[in-house]
């Protein structure tokens, strides 16, 4: 870095101490921090991704614990905890923090690999080598599929952690084997759930978009002077902002419903495999679901359970 050389009379003088002058010496270009700058950037990105994934895992495990406490309550609503969400939050922080951090770390390593691959692809973009670009595209596709699979596996592993309290590896294995034994039900429920959630998001976002269009264009009369919108020269900007905000909020709310469906589905599969409706092993599912499946309990849910 070049230094600005000033004549002695033009050098800045400290007014509080007349005998002192401020002289800029310059930055080092070969210091320890400069040599480790790239490693520090990688460390910062790793910490950012790991923290975000851990917070998301914490939310998923807490919701799974709250929903599972509802399903596995034999006498509903008497056996349901008074504050299921708070209880699940405290239980997760106390017992499952390490498991969540391990699952988040696995996902973070894959995401870091994708970031590095994108960086390499950006550097090789000007080479115009079709073979290298084809190989790079295959690597990117494989890492994308791997990230989706790990997210799916982690999500179900967190549900099993919330139910049984076992470590991440055991929970991921049990969840994967349980889903593979019921692969047809998993595919059907996943597609139906995705379709219903998509229609729900579309309905909410579309409704907000139509309402904001009529509001900002002044086509809704009789609202009063306090809430009437002024005449806007360009009304598409607030409309698009309202639609974007509605989509973000709707995605957050519907993600809770998606977690509820996944948790209750895993609990349902566990209930079918562990119990047979006898006095010693009654089903925990509701009466309506028992009727749909054509099953029954010798001790119906809600009655006193026999040992």
CA 143 to chain centre: 18
10 Å CB burial of residue 107 (0-12, 13-18, 19+) is: buried
pLDDT tens for each residue of 151-182? 999 999 999 999 999 999 999 999 999 999 99
Virtual CA dihedral for 9, 12, 14, 18, nearest 10 degrees? Answer: 0
pLDDT at residue 105, rounded to an integer: 95
The whole-number pLDDT of residue 1 equals 44
229: left (phi over 0), alpha (psi -120 to 50) or beta: beta
Longest dimension (CA), the chain: 100
For position 130, what pLDDT does the model report? Answer: 78
**DSSP bridge pairs for 21:** 13
- Predicted confidence at residue 153, as pLDDT, reads 94
pLDDT of residue 272: 87
Give the model's pLDDT for residue 79. 80
Digit-coded pLDDT (tens) for 224-280: 565 666 677 778 888 899 999 999 999 989 999 999 999 999 999 998 888 887 878
| Helix (H), strand (E) at residue 201 | helix 183-216
Residues of the chain with pLDDT under 50: 1-9, 11, 302, 306-307
In sequence order, the 6+-apart residues with CB closer than 8 A to the CB of 26 are 1, 3
Percentage, residues of the chain above pLDDT 90: 45
What pLDDT is attached to residue 23? 64
């Amino acid at each position: 870095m070049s230094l600005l050389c000033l004549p002695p009379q033009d050098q800045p003088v400290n007014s509080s101490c007349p005998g002192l002058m401020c002289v800029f010496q310059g930055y080092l270009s070969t210091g320890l921090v400069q040599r480790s700058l790239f490693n520090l950037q990688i460390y910062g990105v790793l910490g950012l991704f790991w923290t975000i994934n851990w917070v998301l895992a914490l939310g998923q495990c807490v919701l799974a614990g709250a929903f599972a406490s509802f399903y596995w309550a034999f006498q509903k609503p008497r056996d349901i905890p008074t504050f299921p969400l708070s209880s699940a939050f405290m239980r997760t922080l106390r017992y499952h923090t390490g498991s969540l951090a391990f699952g988040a770390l696995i996902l973070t390593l894959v995401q870091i690999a994708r970031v590095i691959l994108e960086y390499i692809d950006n550097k090789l973009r000007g080479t115009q080598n079709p073979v290298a670009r084809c190989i790079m595209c295959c690597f990117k596709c494989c890492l994308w599929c791997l990230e989706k699979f790990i997210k799916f596996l982690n999500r179900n592993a967190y549900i099993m952690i919330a139910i049984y309290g076992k470590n991440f590896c055991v929970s991921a294995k049990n969840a994967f084997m349980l889903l593979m034994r019921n692969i047809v039900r998993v595919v059907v429920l996943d597609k139906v759930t995705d379709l219903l959630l998509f229609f729900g998001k579309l309905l909410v976002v579309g409704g907000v978009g139509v309402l904001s269009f009529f509001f900002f264009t002044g086509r809704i009369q009789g609202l009063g002077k306090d809430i009437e919108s002024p005449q806007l020269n360009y009304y598409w900007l607030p409309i698009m902002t309202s639609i974007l905000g509605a989509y973000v909020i709707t995605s957050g709310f519907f993600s809770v419903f998606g977690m509820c469906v996944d948790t209750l589905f895993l609990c349902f599969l566990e209930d079918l495999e562990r119990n047979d409706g006898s006095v010693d092993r009654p089903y925990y599912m509701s009466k309506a679901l028992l009727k749909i499946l054509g099953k029954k309990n010798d001790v119906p849910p809600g009655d006193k359970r026999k040992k």
